[in-house]
């Protein structure tokens, strides 16, 4: 409850303690293109119930200092596929199975939970890098992994406002199975392959 603890009015502090973990410690964003929950697949919906497109996330980041973008994809994805230049951190919620177990149904190598994901997020939120931040936009490849990542934070009682970037970094697939429909890269927003020092906090 970092936002309220900076306030001195006892009544506000009492109110913050009475609120449920995700009733919101910050006002919700004023979006130009709101996302209707009924347009989202179940895999992209979250308990927090707050959604944003990658295109609008880029605008918000340019305008607001209290909002941060967190990329929860694997470090390999950020290196080989790229990541948003303004991402505050890459804190993976899942990692590629070190045994490279094959998922024949989906034609991919399986992924496993990052066992320290929540702790890493909490540590970043408590760091100087997150000073003044009360709202996080969580991004993965296309919006489903980020929804699950938000679910873990909600379950752990991490008390920040959480938006799911519903089309992620690469976006949804078109008829040919190519991720060219939407997403950060397809919106023409700044991205890079070059990893910067400290992108994955504590792993340099």
> What 3-state DSSP class applies to 54?
helix
Query: pLDDT band at 27, cuts 50/70/90?
Result: confident
In a domain, 32, yes or no: no
What CATH number corresponds to the domain at position 61?
3.40.250.10
Closest CA to 28 of 135, 131, 125, 110: 135
2 has pLDDT over 50: no
Interval 46-73: pLDDT, tens: 999 999 999 999 999 999 999 999 999 9
Question: How many domains, in total, are found in the chain?
Answer: 1
Which domain covers residue 112, as residue numbers? 37-192
In a domain, 29, yes or no: no
In a domain, 83, yes or no: yes
Interval 77-136: pLDDT, tens: 999 999 999 999 999 999 999 999 999 998 999 999 999 999 999 999 999 999 999 999
192 has pLDDT over 60: yes
Report the Cα–Cα distance between both ends of the chain, in Å, rounded: 29
In a domain, 6, yes or no: no
Residues 47 and 72: their CA atoms lie apart, in Å, by 18
Closest CA to 49 of 134, 131, 151: 151
Q: How many CB atoms lie within 10 A of CB 1?
A: 14
As a whole number, the mean pLDDT across the chain is: 89
Closest CA to 126 of 45, 201, 31: 201
In a domain, 24, yes or no: no
């Amino acid at each position: 409850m970092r936002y309220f603890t900076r306030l001195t009015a006892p009544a506000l502090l009492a109110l913050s303690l009475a609120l449920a973990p995700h009733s919101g410690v910050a006002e919700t964003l004023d979006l130009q293109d709101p996302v209707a929950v009924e347009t989202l697949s179940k895999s992209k919906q979250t308990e927090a119930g707050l959604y944003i497109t990658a295109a609008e996330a880029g605008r918000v980041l340019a305008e607001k200092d209290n909002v941060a973008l967190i990329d929860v994809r694997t470090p390999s994805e950020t290196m080989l596929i790229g990541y948003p230049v303004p991402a505050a951190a890459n804190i993976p919620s899942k990692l590629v199975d070190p045994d490279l177990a094959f998922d024949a149904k989906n034609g991919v190598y399986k992924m496993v939970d990052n066992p320290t994901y929540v702790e890493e997020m909490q540590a970043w939120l408590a760091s100087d890098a997150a000073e003044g931040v009360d709202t996080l936009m969580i991004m993965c490849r296309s919006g489903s992994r980020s929804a699950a990542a938000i679910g873990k934070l909600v379950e752990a009682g991490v008390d920040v406002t959480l938006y799911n970037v519903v089309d992620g970094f690469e976006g949804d697939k078109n008829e040919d199975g190519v991720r060219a429909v939407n997403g950060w890269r397809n919106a023409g927003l700044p991205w890079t392959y070059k990893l910067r020092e400290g992108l994955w906090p504590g792993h340099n």
